[in-house]
Amino acid sequence: MIITVASGKGGTGKTTVAVNLALSIGSTNLLDCDVEEPNVHTLLHPTKMQTTSVTVPTPSVDQDKCTLCGKCAEFCQFNAIFVGKTKTMIYEEMCHSCGGCKLVCPDDAITEVERSIGRIHQSNMGQTQLVYGELSIGEPIATTLIHAVKEQVKTDEINILDAPPGTACPVIETMRESDYLVLVTEPTPFGLHDLSMAVDVVRELKIPFGVIINRAGIGDEGVEEFCKENNIPILLEIPFNRQIAELYSRGIPFVQEMPEWRQQFKDLFNHIVELINNGK
């Protein structure tokens, strides 16, 4: 089972939800797919980490063989290749590693070399298996590393995925193949605006979903009205609570200090399982 926790905007509390949900239901794989700004580990504090590098094949041009015919540049849809008057240049950060330029080169002047784009960290923390990706500074394409993180999903176990914020490609890559999506929002006009965009994306993907309202009580009723009008289930409301905020600021999941919430997250998980089984 794969449950992905996402949101239309950053700062709504999806990492809080993902971590506390994982800790409450017991044996889980918790995967942080926000590879540009991973922060699940800041709440779990792993001490022993296994780190592996993630590489992608990147074209390299043998300038002695290259005849500057330009077929590689014509093929590349991402403008990662420039053929000048005296040499062919590869813009590595724009390359999507499709391998097409190597195939169309008539002079066999292009080979592929492995280039590191980031790292994957793993730690076994009792009942929780933590996996998170860390994109190298300056790398603009996160989806490849997210895909590598998702390769650690265990199909016969419970997997909780913490998605990046927003509604762009990294979020869609994280959401794909999920059994259920939890959209975390806040009861403010900004939260409602970005939630509505996330809902549009999720409905295009045809994945069942529900909403958790975090910091309930600080804003208006716009989110609740939106969910009611669009038949979106509100799975849980987490109040705007000083103790929860203080625990978060100290890097402590609040279910560890507020055990009454552990049962609420267990009930949330059981409700999600029921919704999945009913095809909703």
CATH number of 2-54+118-277: 3.40.50.300
Which amino acid, one-letter code, is at 208? P
Whole-number Cα distances in Å, 79 to 52, 90, 94, 200:
30, 9, 7, 30
Tokens 């994280």 identify what position?
174
Residue extent(s) of CATH 3.40.50.300 domains in the chain: 2-54+118-277
Which amino acid, one-letter code, is at 109? A
Task: Look at domain 63-108 and name its CATH class.
Answer: alpha beta
pLDDT lower than 70: segments of the chain: 280
Q: Give the model's pLDDT for residue 278.
A: 83
Residue extent(s) of CATH 3.30.70.20 domains in the chain: 63-108
Residue 254 to residue 240: CA distance in whole angstroms: 13
Largest alpha-carbon pair distance within the chain?
A: 70
Length in residues, the chain: 280
Q: Give the model's pLDDT for residue 219.
A: 83
Q: Which of 36, 34, 38 is nearest to 49 (CA)?
A: 38
Strand partners, 160: 3, 30
Give the tokens for residue 106: 């008539």
Which amino acid, one-letter code, is at 41? H
Strand runs (DSSP E) across the chain, as ranges?
2-6, 28-32, 50-61, 81-83, 88-90, 110-125, 128-135, 159-162, 180-185, 209-216, 234-239
For residue 256, the 8-state DSSP code is G
For residue 10, the 8-state DSSP code is T
Q: Give the model's pLDDT for residue 8.
A: 78
Q: Give the model's pLDDT for residue 280.
A: 60
Which amino acid, one-letter code, is at 202? V
Q: Give the model's pLDDT for residue 175.
A: 96
Tokens 């990046």 identify what position?
164
Distance from first CA to last CA of the chain, Å, rounded? 15
Q: Give the model's pLDDT for residue 9.
A: 78
Residue 41 to residue 172: CA distance in whole angstroms: 22
Residue 17, φ and ψ in degrees, nearest 5: -65, -45
